[in-house]
């Protein structure tokens, strides 16, 4: 994967991003509003069930915002990987006709999720201000966390997308895995619940880069009561979570480059 795109490839990427974003909501009555409605609907259901009925999160300041952040970032991760894994398969005709760096197709597919999450973060910030969260300089740290999560999602998309070209079951298998991961990441429940039950389980849980990112965003955006990997597992394990992202992305890029030359034949 090249870091810099030629003018021709840059234009191609821009056009693919625009096309993917338009096609995503084509034929929908609400159109682009679904970028906001989908995560908000998921948040509303989780809020009623876990906050109002089960009474979770009562000891966490601004718990509704806490839950919304988890929902938005989890939705970003699943949307990013879901679109990225099928990108090569969907753009098969283009790959067979034109010679260009194939990773552009995956980047363009995942860019739709990036646009959506940026819109959703604006909603989170407005919701946080309404809920009484005080703005601080630490809000700026949300961007590096978002970039880290995107690199992880892009890496997974490149790796599984390459395999999915030949074995089309990968997309379905990944859907099952993400359903299981949803409960392995502290989205609906506070980390303190796990810490109280088993400190070791909490440490293992927060080594997961997805959990690490979500808790970092909550800590920096909402409240310092949100326990992070750095606090629960220690600084070393915090860097281990970041290292996992780098390793996954590096392996994925190498594997993608190795398989990309055969995509036109196999897709």
36-45 pLDDT, tens digit each: 777 777 778 8
Entry pTM: 0.88
Q: Are 102 and 165 in contact (CB under 8 A)?
A: no
Half-sphere exposure (Cβ direction) of 7: Cα atoms closer than 13 Å: 0
Predicted confidence at residue 152, as pLDDT, reads 97
**Confidence category of residue 6, pLDDT binned at 50, 70, 90:** low
Measured CA to CA, the distance from residue 200 to residue 214 in angstroms comes to: 19
Q: Are 87 and 104 in contact (CB under 8 A)?
A: no
Q: Is 29 helix (H, G, I), strand (E, B) or coil?
A: coil
CA torsion 95-159-175-113 (nearest 10°) is: -70
194-211 pLDDT, tens digit each: 888 888 888 888 999 999
151-209 pLDDT, tens digit each: 999 999 999 999 999 888 898 999 999 999 988 898 888 888 888 888 888 888 899 99
Q: Is the pLDDT of residue 60 over 50?
A: yes
């Amino acid at each position: 994967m090249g870091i810099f795109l030629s003018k021709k490839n840059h234009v191609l990427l821009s056009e693919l991003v625009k096309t993917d974003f338009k096609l995503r909501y084509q034929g929908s009555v609400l159109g682009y509003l679904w970028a906001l409605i989908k995560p908000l609907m998921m948040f509303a259901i989780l809020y009623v069930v876990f906050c109002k009925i089960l009474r979770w999160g009562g000891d966490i300041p601004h718990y509704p915002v806490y839950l919304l952040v988890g929902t938005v970032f989890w939705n970003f991760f699943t949307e990013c990987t879901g679109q990225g894994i099928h990108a090569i398969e969907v753009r098969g005709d283009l790959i067979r006709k034109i010679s260009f760096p194939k990773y552009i197709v995956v980047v363009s597919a995942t860019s739709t999720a990036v646009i959506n999450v940026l819109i959703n973060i604006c909603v989170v910030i407005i919701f946080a201000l309404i809920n009484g969260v005080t703005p601080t300089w630490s809000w700026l740290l949300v961007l590096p966390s978002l970039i880290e999560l995107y690199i992880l999602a892009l890496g997974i998309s490149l790796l599984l997308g390459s395999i999915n070209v030949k074995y089309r079951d990968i997309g379905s298998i990944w859907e099952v895995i993400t359903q299981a991961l949803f409960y392995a990441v502290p989205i609906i429940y506070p980390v303190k619940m796990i810490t109280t039950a088993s400190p070791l389980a909490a440490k293992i849980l927060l080594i997961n880069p997805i959990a690490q990112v979500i808790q970092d965003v909550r800590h920096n955006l909402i409240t310092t009561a949100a326990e992070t990997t750095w606090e629960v597992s220690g600084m070393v394990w915090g860097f281990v979570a970041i290292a996992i992202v780098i390793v996954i992305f590096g392996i994925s890029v190498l594997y993608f480059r190795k398989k990309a030359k055969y995509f036109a034949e196999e897709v």
